Structure 1
């Protein structure tokens, strides 16, 4: 009997020890780089299945190239153009043990021989050099491009042709993408790298296995990727965190089975002194987690790491230092949900830090929602999220700094010297492209639900970026919960049909954008109780004026300073477009793609007109860019000194009007 018990005990001990050793292999993989955490199978040490690079500044890289984003099957890299990069550098991305460049890419090569393998295309070096401002590349010769020409999964055959063509330099990659209107387009200086693990499938329960034919082998050796089934979250790998139900994804079972393993090992160790070391290890690990990371922060880190490794997680102390303890001198403005500060982290330039007010569970979901949505999209006219902070009871988001403030501030003359009509049309056209991208190029589509002039930020060159995704929802989620009585959007911008059926859709964004168009024409406040009772709402006021053919009566006087026949016609076209966007019934409103197309045509005509008159939009942007760059230099030089505040977009002056 004793012998049988001993055998049973050592059998259990051996099994648990094997589990522990297996977990140690996962533990041995360092998955953090500065404040960024990546999920299995990626990491930053040789023990990781797919090792990445961590730069001295905390930037996540692959082969020295910055990683823009991760997807379920690919890594998106930033590969800037270079005139003298050896052709062999492309081979490092073409094929590796666990990743390779996909056939969605093409290679731009320099110095290729025309007497051997033919490239897919040939482009004048002069055209590319002037376009990218790369004078050092010279103006003679051609750039050859090589693509697979087939729907192959990887690009290796195309690289073989480049080698056969005796190309000397790897200029840059180009990959397939979608433009703002959802049409196929090329994304320059960017590469899509497919990844896999070698061998037969080793996926966790509730996960699906995707087989990958590994390139570089005659028979296409077996490789695989794992992804969790719908309703589950995690990396999907048996050797990683596995999958768990989304509704049960909380701090008590964050990122895998480590805590479960600790409990199991503790139970075995209770009856055996031989497991004392393991018990101490688990005890220290659990104590470390409980004392250094709050449950909420643990959950946020895991959720965000599953979404995008490009989003950094900052501590509350880091944010306090960056904003001088949230000083008034660092405050940029305040809204209904948050206060925005300017700040600077050690390894970054100036950033905008949005501190949510009165954090609670709703705010936590809002932060996670915004992080997940912004990190899943990429468009030049959408604001870039740099990181977040879920620590010390605070919910904070960190964005790229937009030095020219908001469109609302420029229209109200709170910043700058006023926007010309061509500048306003250009801003409207670019913003419309971003909304079209959210509605059509992203699957499932995203409805912003809070489009307004104070959420349109301007960079050095007055180019807009749409911000604040806190209320955004995917099209699927909007359909699943299309009845919502919670407050949505900002008064004056909200779809009037919402008050009847509590339903928001892509046409709701069209209505809100129509209000923005009217704002740009009139520079009036969206809701102003100082106006006559029937004119409090700007949308109603403008619709009535447009319907009666009295557009000129409501146009911003600043625009009228350069009023001519061409400008008048352009304003009339925008007014008619806004009138259609403001239709009460959503079915009568145009799709956002149609709105963007019309604004693009108007913008091109305005640019040509202003160019002929000698006052170009480019000059206006350059003047604004110079002044804002000087402002940023002064802010960096004396970060402790008082900084110019950006007025609150939500302040209502003593006249009783309501702003944005």
Structure 2
């Protein structure tokens, strides 16, 4: 009888186990096992094999499938079943819900390129797309040519190549700002349209081409940059956003600014509702909470990530915090997961975004009295030892951390040119009393850890932040963009130059910091922006009067005269322009940006260098000979004088037979003087406030500064003296005889050289190697 009961028991257990297995295997998949939706219901989710189409993008004519017509995707037989942005007509390679997409952009060919057409990139103005600056590089393949790129916000940038028939044509071989047979440079922020050109256009030999390209694709998928010649289009990365307007605000209402519960390492963190944020008061970006995934723009609950399937309990970070015996077993929950051990009944809860809460729950044993006494005595004697061990471990940790921090700062100090700066200090070239070496902690605190809200402006050499010391002093901190040893030399050069200068109209350098990842310069704070802003933008609160223009010109001339002749070593600025002239709280001129300046030995007449400069300000004689003299600064200052007279930009676009051509202000001014049209191009305020005699004398001086022959230009001391004389005459309300002889003399000199160098002047006024942010200011506080 007992045998029968045992058999029946085994049969029942077998049936129950078999039934449980069937139920387990046929159980519906949990929500975490299903792929999260990426598009709206009844909308196409993919085009072709590999390209998914998440909302706000959508395929087809159904308007409910996409946010607006800019996000509409064509995918049919006419496109070869490849996704195309309908309005932009660009083939889509990949769409990311984080706000980027990869598309194909045309390669622009120049010269003898068989079977190739010259195409420019499509105009994305007014669209939600811009070319992503941190992902793309402007690239040109040419031999000894200057490749330029002009954006929709009047940014110019360029790179130059040299020729070497024996060079390796790999995609990464010396393809820099000045590369061999190939050159590359970065692009500014928020570009939606651009045109490319290779100069000079009438002397292009062979096949040359320029293009914007995804730099990761360029480096990882090409063995040679020559391979681009066989392509019509290359990948670029666009950034997309949803503009904040009445439609979008209404659709995302309730999700914008929604408070997300902070993560606590427990199973109560199960809020899967997406949330949205507003960026720059103009666009909406949405996110899933940590531990969840999906398309937040569908405004539906996101899906839990099953971390157990990703084997998260064996991640190094989890294992490092696992201090219990036994191997961890994983259990998933909404928003996180649990790792536990059956051996010690230990549990650790982890959130989807990191962090943990571990605890130990032992099974209560039956302890004897002797065991309890032994345990108490062991605790009494081990307590002080454990405390001592913890104190020692904490002290060792602090010492190791301090040493690592010191080594890190020493590494940055050497990399940022600290040894070169020490060499300059030991040689006596730097005024040690003027230069203070700031601590990184002090500058981080003064700029609120370099908060973007503290940015005063950005330039080719770095970003300038507004800071405040504990004593209330306001400063400007320049965070340099150091990419190579050449730029490090420019940074140290700026320290050397400014340490020698003591002039009220030159921005004062307070010190520097070399123990950060990129070097920092600390200047006095100049609150009223650049001279360019007041010349070229209407400012009803503070218009530039004729007397103010004359005073500012006199102050700049005095500062340059000091640099050329009164400093301990003559200093050539090499980048005089209105965006490098700042105005302080009393609107006094301050000359800034000495990154490309050079000091020379007394008695030396010129400096032979690679051509540096800015469009519209570059001395044509320097451009031809590569020999920079003090008269080259005089030429650039002459362009600033013309800007003060006319209120015109140094370079302007003129529509010609072959599209837009770019003319320099210097050429336009000289032509107007020759044709007796001076008063037709002057700023209205100058004509109304200045006397004819003063204006002609001022214009005559500008003409002499712009003389094609540098030897016939006045020195900066002569320029400063004449401007001071004009200023004194105005203040004393005296009449000054009109200097028509001087005007005729200047015109005669220009006519003598005009025919011989007119073509060179055209090139020189339109070529420069400054970075794009140095050439046309975005705001009154453009970086210097």
Q: Name the TM-score, length of structure 2 as normaliser.
A: 0.39
Q: Which has the higher helix share?
A: 1
User: Higher relative contact order at CA 8 Å, sep ≥6: structure 1 or structure 2?
Assistant: 1
Higher Cα Rg, which structure: 2
